[in-house]
Structure 1
Amino acid sequence: MRKLRPSGRLRALSGLLAAGALIAGLTGTTAHATESTLRTAPAEIGIQFNPDGDAGQCGGTTGQQWSSNPDFTRPIRIDTDNRSGGCQLAFGIYDPDDTLAGLSLSYRFQASPGGDAGQCGNPGTYQMPIQRFRTFGPSVRIDTDNRAGWCNLAFTVSGRSDVVLDVQFYADGDGGQCVNALPAGQYQSAFAGAPVTVGIDADGRSGGCQLLLRLRRV
Structure 2
Amino acid sequence: MIAKPPLLFAAPAFQRHNPEAPPHDPSQKEEMQRLVERLGSHEMAIRYSAAAGLIRLGLACVLLLHELLKQQTWDRRQMEAVHVLNRLGDKRSVPVLRRALNRGGDQERLAVLRGLRGLCSDQSCFLDALEDPFWEIRREAVFALCDLRQPQLRFIVASMAQDPHPLVRGAAINGLGILGTQRDLDLEIVIANALEDRSEWVRSMAAWSVRHLKRHK
TM-score after normalising by structure 2: 0.24
TM-score (norm 1): 0.24
Answer 1 or 2: which has greater helix percent: 2
**Structure showing greater relative contact order (alpha-carbon pairs closer than 8 Å, 6 or more residues apart):** 1
Structure richer in strand, relative to its length: 1
